[in-house]
Structures are given as C-alpha cells and as structure tokens.
Amino acid sequence: MAHYDLIVRNADIATVGDRYRADIGVKGGRISAIAQDLEGSATRELDAAGRLVTPGGVDGHCHFDQPTSDGSKFADDFETGTRSAACGGTTTVLPFALQQRGHSIQAAVDDYHRRAEGKACVDYAFHLIVADATKDVTQRELPQLIEKGYTSFKIYMTYDDLKLGDRQIIEVLATARRHGAMTMIHAENSDCIAWLTEQLLDAGLTAPRYHAASRPMAVEREATHRAIALAELIDTPILIVHVSGREAVEQIHWARGRGLPIHAETCPQYLFLSAEDLGIDENDPMHGARCICSPPPRDKANQQFIWNGLSSGLFTIVSSDHAPFNMNGPDGKRVAGDDASFDRIPNGIPGVETRLPLLMSEGVMAGRIDIHRFVELTATNPARLYGLYPRKGTIAVGGDADLVIWDQFAPGEEITIRNDMLHHAADYTPYEGMKLRAWPATTVSRGRLVWHDGRFDAAPGSGLFLPCLRPRAPRDGNPLEKWL
C-alpha cells in the first residue's frame, strides 16, 4: 500500500475547471495522487473536513528588498516578505531584479539572488526590470537571461531613473517577441506627471492627497493606449500592470476587440482603496502617505469598473504589487521628512498577505466572482503567464503540492484585519479594521505546512528559486511583414 508524506482528506478542491471532493496524497513535495477515499498511509494526515482547498497563490508582482534611489528601504526582505506571503496563502512569488542604469542586468540578477538566498521561505522566480535598454541589453543580455529562466521583464513609462522612451520600449518588445518572453508595462505618462506635479507644488499643494491629482486617469489612459499601440506594431503580447480604473480598462477592452493579445493585471488597492484614503489627516499630515502608490487609488465608481473587469474576464491576473515602506522611522514613507511634499514620498503599499483573503471574502463570498475565476486570477493565470504552469498554479497529479485550506466565516463571525496579526515587517496595513469572511487556515508549500493552526513554520532559505519556461514560442519573422 502506498505511503505518502502527507494526505489531505475530504478536500473540497477548486481549480479553474473543476470542483469536487477528494483526498490529496503528497510525496516528495509533489501531488502524487488525488482520489476519493485514497488508500494508503501517511506520515501526516490532515482532515480538511469539506473545506475549500485552492491552489497555492502565485503573486506575479511584488517587491522585496529592492534597491531604491531616494535613501528609502523596503520594509520587507525575502525572509519577511515570503513569510507574509505564506501566511496569506501565497506559495510562489515573483519579485523584480532591478537593473541600475549603466550596469548590466546580470549584475542585478546576481545581486538579487544574494538577497534571496538563505532567506526565502516559499518558492520564487524573478522578473527583470529593464531600466537601460541598450543594444547590448536587448540583443545579448536579455536573450541569454531568457535562456536561463528569466522570461519576463517589467518596463516603466514613468519614474526618472527607470523610464524608457518609446524607441527603447519597441526594442524591448522586439526582443520579447523574438525570444518568447513576456513584457509587463507600467503605463503612466511621465511628462504629464512632471508638469502636473510642478503646477501643484508651485501652488503650494504638497500634501499626500495631491499625489492622486498629479496622476489623474488620463495620464494612465494615454500611456496604456500607447503601450498597446507599440505592442500591436511589434505584434507581441504585453501585460499592463496595476490597472487602476475605468479609462485604462476601456483601452484594454478596445484592444481585445481588435484581437490584440493584451493582458491586464489589477491589485486589491484598486478594489478597496480610494483617493480619499490619501486625504485622511488624523492629526498627522503624513497619514495619507500610507496609501500612496502609483497609479493612485481612484474612486468608488472606478472600483466598480475593476470588479466588473474581474467578473467579465477582462483581467488576466490579480497581484499584490506589495511594495512596503514603514510609516515610522527614517527610511520609509518619511524618508524626506515629516512634511515632505507628495512627490518625495516612496510609492507603494504592503499587501502580499491580504491579497487572497480580500479576494476570497469580497470577491467569491460576496458573490462578485466565482471560485473558478478566483483560482484563475490568483494562481493559474500568473503561473501560465510567467512560464511556471503546471508545476505551479493548479492542483494536479505531478504538480507541486502547493495548497490553501480555507477557513470561511458566517456573517457576524468575520475576522478583522489588524496589522499585528500579519507577518510582514511593515508597521501598518492599509486594510486595518476591514472585516473579512475568509482566511487561510493552512498553507501547504511543496508538501510542507508553512502556515497551520495560526503558526508559521518554514526555515529561511527553504524556498526554491524557479527558473521560468518561455511563456510562448519564440517568433522568427519580421513584425514588419504585417504592415507591408
């Protein structure tokens, strides 16, 4: 009779395509059997007792221990970031190895491996940030790195030390096409932001809430359209990251109508936060800084548009864009002082642990999306998009045993989010006080119970680096052919 390392019995398994009751047998970190009344013994058995079991979350966009240019420091390194991920049901994370201008991407990759090694508690892969798209980078380095399993890159249309011009974006897209990689695009118009920021500062409008005014929807809409046009020109798929509201959604909808392979990501901050959260004072002029991220949260009507895009199929993935900076201390949100103008406050909010519970509670249990769409957005599609499927992102024999067993609560018995119950190193959560109807009871990462009974249990360094497959076949021909 078979012996397993772990059997999860009576699981109510949900994948993109199926929902059924079964036992899951795990051997050597992989799922080796799924059956009703699975025969065999196990070193450890868990009775899921009819509880919902979904694939471990794949967070396709988070920032840990990333170098910064303003003296600020990310609150989470690989240890605390992946610990937080595990406790929130995420078993695979994809942070970013950031190229510094004038340096190679390989140097960034080597540095980022040093930051992750001995620290990561769940599995991880790297996206690359291309900040200096020289010929050497697009024609030599990127192809070599793609070959080694770094098959996705993020490019920025804003931020002075990161942004690429249209010509450089085209070069990167052409490389992605030729070598079968995925390009993620941060779409905001840099010049518009610079001009608006100058006007606001000249008028003395410097408080955190003017961050939203400096990056209105038109700024994101224009850049989203331009990114789509460049991708159409080169005839290659792209992913527009952190889509914040209606006007960007409309551009993506338009592109899909033209048959273009434009993928879209959104994040919980665009479902649950609004520009008003940047304006709350509470006797601390910096209070609103906690919700400063880019693009900024919009308003309730835009939140509804994002929900609609989740249920309609417009969005491909939901990621956290976890980018944590402490509210207290000298190297977080206050790095430029207690009364710094909005443009000098580090951008980003924590969210790697709350991503899945927020979406399970307010998406699935509130009836806005079904459980299959939840799995698709939070695990299966990010794994597919970044070349990790089917090892990650589903519950299937042969795949890694990455699972979430859910606690679900009746109305009136909700769990209240408090920062001190979270496992990141950030000193706040923007979701403080929210009541949720779901939270992971157990997270299984390659067969290990990394979060169980309210306890985190994974050694730093036990997470594996995952080289990614190419998301698509490389394409030889000249994209120009289409236009001749």
Query: What is the nearest approach in angstroms of Zn ion to the Cβ of residue 404?
Result: 23
Q: Which of 353, 319, 326 has the alpha carbon at shortest distance from 425?
A: 326
Least Å from the CB of residue 394 to Zn ion: 25
Is there binding between residue 392 and Zn ion (CB under 5 A)? no
Tell me how far apart the alpha carbons of residues 239 and 255 are, in angstroms, rounded to a whole number: 12
293 binds, among Zn ion, ligand DUC, none (CB under 5 to 8 A by kind): ligand DUC
Instruction: Candidates 99, 189, 294, 316: give the one binding ligand DUC (CB under 6 A).
Output: 294
**Among 293, 360, 436, 438, contact with ligand DUC (rule: CB under 6 A):** 293
Q: Please identify, using beta-carbon distances, which residue of 243 and 438 lies nearer to Zn ion.
A: 243
| Residue 215 binding Zn ion, by CB under 5 A | no
Structure tokens belonging to residue 215: 């990056």
Closest separation in Å from C-beta 408 to Zn ion = 30
- Cα separation, 187 vs 247, whole angstroms: 12
Does 321 bind ligand DUC (CB under 6 A)? Our answer is yes
Per CB under 5 A, the segment of 203-211, 221-229, 274-282, 316-324 that binds Zn ion is 316-324
Which is nearer to ligand DUC, 158 or 394 (by Cβ)? Answer: 158
Interface with ligand DUC, residue 23, by CB under 6 A: no
Interface with ligand DUC includes 268 (CB under 6 A)? no
Query: How far apart are CB 186 and ligand DUC at their closest, in Å?
Result: 5
Total Cβ atoms within 10 A of residue 220: 30
> Considering only 173-181, 186-194, 263-271, 371-379, which stretch makes contact with Zn ion by CB under 5 A?
186-194
Residue 362 makes contact with Zn ion by CB under 5 A:
no
The count of chain residues that interact with ligand DUC, using the rule CB under 6 A, is: 8
Q: Which of 101, 214, 240, 235 is nearest to 157 (CA)?
A: 240
> What is the spatial distance between Cα 128 and Cα 409, in angstroms, rounded to a whole number?
39
CA distance 430 to 267: 13
Q: Considering only residues 27, 30, 63, 423, which one is a binding residue for ligand DUC as defined by CB under 6 A?
A: 63
Whole-number minimum distance, CB 339 to Zn ion, in Å?
Answer: 26
- Residue 347 binds which entry of ligand DUC, Zn ion, none, CB below 5-8 Å type-dependent: ligand DUC
Q: How far is the CB of 380 from ligand DUC (least distance, A)?
A: 24
Q: Which of 186, 211, 384, 446 binds ligand DUC (CB under 6 A)?
A: 186
Q: Rounded to the nearest whole angstrom, what is the least distance from the CB of residue 158 to ligand DUC in the complex?
A: 8
φ and ψ of 258, to 5 deg: -85, 0
Choosing from 73, 119, 127, 186, the residue that interacts with Zn ion (CB under 5 A) is 186
Residue 25 or 295: the one with the smaller Cβ distance to Zn ion is 295
For residue 323, state whether it binds ligand DUC (rule: CB under 6 A).
yes
Nearest to Zn ion by Cβ — which residue?
A: 186
| Selected binder of ligand DUC within 56, 88, 297, 348 (CB under 6 A) | 348
Does residue 288 interact with ligand DUC by CB under 6 A? no
Minimum CB–partner distance for residue 406 and ligand DUC (Å)? 28
380 binds, among Zn ion, ligand DUC, none (CB under 5 to 8 A by kind): none
Q: How far is the CB of 463 from ligand DUC (least distance, A)?
A: 22
Contact partner, 472, from ligand DUC, Zn ion, none, Cβ < 5-8 Å per class: none
Q: Please, which residue, 75 or 323, has the CB nearer to ligand DUC?
A: 323
Q: Is 351 in the site for ligand DUC (CB under 6 A)?
A: no
Alpha-carbon span 166 to 191, nearest angstrom: 13
Stretch that binds Zn ion, among 21-29, 170-178, 265-273, 317-325 (CB under 5 A): 317-325
Q: Which residues bind ligand DUC (CB under 6 A)?
A: 63, 186, 293-294, 321, 323, 347-348
